[in-house]
Amino acid sequence: MSKNITKSSIDWVKLEKLVPPEQKGSYMAFKAKSENYLRRVLANPPTAPAINWEEYKKIVPVPGLVDKLMSEYQNLKIPYPEDKYTAEVDKQWASLETEIKSFCATMQQDIQKSQGELNRINSLPRFDEITMEMYAEMYPKEAIHFVEKPSFWPHSADEQLGYKDPTAKAEH
């Protein structure tokens, strides 16, 4: 017996958009298995076929056997499993939903901050157009000041006059 199912409860298009590219094969296998199961269920009639008990009473020679089978068949109740987990899953989802929203808000702030930094970087002059004076104006702490503190090329600390190696032993 199967219920008349008119529409799948799964939105396959929406679900496919959420599947990462590396898991598309597993997703397609799952979808095919689900559709195969649905086809098998829909192939069955919605109700059990009617049994002609009078015909069986004429054929079966044991008295009372057909009546006994008929009463047992009519009293047969196939238990449907009780849904114990939907409420628990909904409760977990409700607790996760607040975490997801706070995470999304934090990520949105990070995105806006990063976008501001990208806008700042994009507003800078191109590397081949910038001069030492422009760099000194934009970044006074990082710029090399030749007048206040003369420096020799390659402008690293170990190439300057009066450099002392910090790893060398101190002389007494």
37-75 pLDDT, tens per residue?
888 888 888 777 888 889 988 898 888 898 999 999 888
- Mean pLDDT across the stretch 3-26? 84
pLDDT at position 103, please? 96
- With b for 16 or more beta-carbon neighbours within 10 A and e for fewer, the 137-148 pattern comes to eeeeeeeeeeee
112-166 pLDDT, tens per residue?
999 999 999 999 899 899 988 898 888 888 887 777 878 778 878 888 888 888 8
63-112 pLDDT, tens per residue?
889 899 999 988 888 787 888 888 999 999 999 999 999 999 999 999 99
Query: Residue 2 above 60 pLDDT?
Result: no
pLDDT at position 6, please? 62
